[in-house]
Amino acid sequence: MGWRTSRFFDKAGKTAAGSNGRIISLQQVSKRLGDVQVLNDINLEVGQGECIVLVGRNGSGKSTLLRVLAGMLLPDSGSLCKSRHGRIMYALDGLSRLPFTSREYLWEMGRIRGMRPEVLRLRIGELSELLFVGAALDQNLPQLSKGTLQKVNLIQALLPGPDGLLLLDEPLSGLDVPAQEAIVALLRQWKQEGSQIVTACHEPLLIERLADQVIVLQKGTVLRRWSQEDLQQAAEPTVSIQSVMEGLEQSVIDALLVDQPGIIACHRSMVRRDYGREVWDWKVSRSSADRILGMILAAGGSIVSVQPEESRLNMEGLMEGRHPGEAISREVAENLSSISTAGGDLQ
């Protein structure tokens, strides 16, 4: 599902970039908290419309780096340069269970930012609808589940709208799948409109759809940097479709299978007892899923199920510093092998 965000926010003037096109730049930034060296010689540059994803295990320095970018912590050494224009929006990893309702909290956060009441009221309502907050908008924060509390946390960061630097600490943590999809779609449009995003995140969904660069942190230092081209080598995620093709001529089915871009594999399954008819299993690329579904329906078939995409990005390997393509090579081979040996027709 695609989410239109233009109706939520009127775009403000674009943030002015520096002479090198960078909105924010860190050079050899280090930070010590107590006896622990949390960050050590970090270099980071974020340009107009860029999304940088920080990955790493607990204690690697991700949250501290976000706090430095937000201005909540000052580096002990190194330089931090920001554009004089544009705003900073920040969602911490975990919102405190304050003694307010969700609506009261969001209202106060918007007023602190100087938002006009009529604009603030509209944005609270529309973002709450986007993230399926529902009746929880008038419930007290201490009564909310972790997932709903995270939705409120994200809404407060998103209230000002696009244009600026958006800092997110594990934004998809605890969210249901529809809310994850909605957030990623919204961030993708904001990115296209010029917003800068720096996020600590371990969900492949966000990395695959938004990341221009992935920075792997380990014990406060940069272990690896992966570009968008590196990530693309991990291959596109897939979608599994089950359909009934009963009564269709073989030539019609063959026309769907032969030389159709986006179809990775397809085979006939045994007759399913719970459905009573022969079911076809399709594995297609995510970008081709809508088109393939339309072709199946146009040919007279019917859809039994559409399974969520399978990410081919191995996060464990990525956090260890392995190349995204290398991290999934064995997994992909095993998946394709299991399809080809499952029986039936394979194209």
Buried b (16+ CB within 10 A) or exposed e, 20-56: eebbbbbeebbbeeeeeebbbebebbbbbbbbbbbbb
Q: Which pairs count as long-range contacts for 292-297, CB under 8 Å and 24+ apart, including other chains? A: 292/241, 292/256, 292/260, 292/262, 292/263, 293/241, 295/256, 295/260, 296/241, 296/243, 296/245, 296/256
**Residue 19's pLDDT is what?**
41
Sign of CA dihedral 280, 286, 291, 294: positive
Q: Report whether pLDDT(236) > 70.
A: no
Cβ burial, residue 258 (10 Å; 0-12/13-18/19+): exposed
Mean pLDDT of 239-252: 80
For residue 216, what are the β-bridge partners? 55, 224
pLDDT for position 5: 41
What is the average pLDDT across 77-83?
Answer: 88
At residue 310 the predicted structure's pLDDT band, cuts being 50, 70 and 90, is low
Q: What is the mean pLDDT of residues 24-49?
A: 94
- Report pLDDT for 345: 38
Beta bridge partners of 79: 27
Higher pLDDT, 347 or 162: 162
Assign 84 a pLDDT band (cuts: 50, 70, 90): low
Which pLDDT belongs to residue 269?
67
Confidence label for 86 from pLDDT (cuts 50, 70 and 90): low
Q: Give percent above pLDDT 70 in the chain.
A: 82
Q: Which of 105-109, 172-176, 231-235 has the highest mean pLDDT?
A: 105-109
Asked if residue 339 has pLDDT above 50, the reply is no
Among the ranges given (56-65, 75-84, 184-193, 206-215), the one the predictor scored with the smallest mean pLDDT? 75-84
**Which residues does 168 contact at the CB level (< 8 Å), separation at least 6?**
66, 90, 91, 154, 157, 197, 198, 199, 200, 201
Q: Give the model confidence (pLDDT) of 168-207 as tens digits.
A: 999 999 899 899 999 999 999 999 999 999 999 988 889 9
Residue 108: predicted pLDDT = 95
- The whole-angstrom separation of Cα 52 and Cα 207 is 9
CA–CA dist 200, 44 (Å, integer): 14
- In this predicted structure, what is the pLDDT of residue 272? 53
**Which pLDDT value is given to residue 122?**
95
Residue 59 pLDDT class (50, 70, 90 cuts)? very high
Mean pLDDT calculated for residue range 14-27: 63
Mean pLDDT for the stretch of residues 267-292? 74
The 10s digit of each residue's pLDDT in 112-159 is 999 999 999 999 999 999 999 989 999 999 999 999 999 999 999 999
Domains of the chain, first to last: 22-232 (3.40.50.300), 238-340 (3.30.70.260)
242 vs 256: which has the higher pLDDT = 242
Looking at per-residue pLDDT, the higher value among 347 and 200 belongs to: 200
Percent of the chain with pLDDT over 90: 48
Q: Which has more pLDDT, 130 or 290?
A: 130
Which segment, 265-279, 289-303, 305-319, is predicted with the most confidence on average? 289-303
